[in-house]
Amino acid sequence: MSNSAELQKTIDDMIDSERGILAADESTGTMTKRLEAVGVESTEENRRWYRSMLLSAPDVGKYICGVIFYEETLGQKDDNGTPLPELAASQGVIPGIKVDKGKGPLPGAPGDMITYGLDGLEERLDGYKAQGARFAKWREVYPITDHNPTRLGLTANAEMLARYAAACQAAGIVPIVEPEVLIDGDHSMYRAAEVNEQVWHSVFHALHQHGVVLEHMILKPSMVTPGKETGKASPEEVAEMTLKILRRTVPAAVPSVNFLSGGQTPEEATANLNALNHLRDKAPWHLSMSYGRALQEHAMKAWGGDTGNREKAQQAFLKRAKLNSMARQGLYQAQEEEAA
């Protein structure tokens, strides 16, 4: 199978009108914080058990089309000895992998960040593919201040995303391109819109320069919201502003926009996704999600480190997955939080 046919097959398997992506790619440090918050020690065994519990939830493939693994998880097995990528695939969930190596300050651009991990990426992609990964994810982070992101920050981060995406497609792996504009701060919604527009414009300029085939990638952006110290915007306001800026910057050739949920509660992320899909007739792309905490938070609390809570935790996870599937179709209503 040619790279193009292979990439298109993955896109076809991952994109439909009802399902979204589970981001289970938390680094060991992030996972440790989340587990400790519910009183669970962050051992490799606990991380393995928890993630295999999510992937073995009954009929999870009805609501989830893909799962982003952390490198550790890609090599783990469930209690029956089944590799977790194989477990996911058996549920109709496409395995993927986070390939960046974390972030740090960008020299020459105070306040901006840059993500590491391009060195050796081609070889790592071949290894991940042999383990079952069919798509990948790379995240660049953009703090908002009066001065950030700088012009250098915009250019450098876009270049990293484009080089990563080109390497993925050369390896037959679909890239998820994640430019996350952080919700931290007291900026207005209009400032957030301004920054997102700059970010998305710079990213697609770089993708074009590096020859990335837009039909064979997925965009994972932030929704346009005010800074978390400013207050909340309504789902309708978030949807209107987000779609306005997307239409200015994202080519119609991109098949799907899978939003991240950073900084939102599970309920807010679902309501905002629902509002976006009320406007989907104005969008040339699928409007879906790639949520981490917004899909997992209730399940992790329900588990609490007790294997006897397996079914309870799975049901909590499936509830959020189902509600987001409804939001994906514009059918979610807030009262369903209790009924689902």
Q: What share of the chain is helix, strand, coil (3-state, %, to 5)?
A: 50, 15, 35
Q: Which residues of 52-66 are buried (b: 16+ CB within 10 A; e: fewer)?
A: bbbbbbeebbebbbb
Q: Which of 26, 71, 159, 178 is catalytic?
A: 178
* Residue 43, both tokens: 């051992």
With 0-12 / 13-18 / 19 or more C-beta atoms within 10 angstroms meaning exposed / middle / buried, residue 188 is middle
Q: Would you say 140 and 102 are in contact if contact means Cβ atoms under 8 Å apart?
A: no
**Residue whose tokens read 């089944």:** 82
Select from 65, 69, 86, 68 the least CA-distant residue to 77: 86
Q: Would you say 226 and 189 are in contact if contact means Cβ atoms under 8 Å apart?
A: yes
Q: Positive or negative, the Cα torsion across 136, 226, 295, 36?
A: positive
Helix count (H) and strand count (E) of the chain?
13, 10
Q: Which of 220, 268, 297, 319 is catalytic?
A: 220
Half-sphere exposure of 25 (CA within 13 A, CB side): 28
Indicate if 178 belongs to the active site.
yes
**Residue whose tokens read 């991990």:** 117
Neighbours of 141 (CB within 10 A): 18
With 0-12 / 13-18 / 19 or more C-beta atoms within 10 angstroms meaning exposed / middle / buried, residue 277 is buried
Q: Whole-angstrom Cα distance, residue 109 to residue 151?
A: 9
Q: Would you say 13 and 94 are in contact if contact means Cβ atoms under 8 Å apart?
A: yes
- Would you name the residues annotated as active-site residues? 178, 220
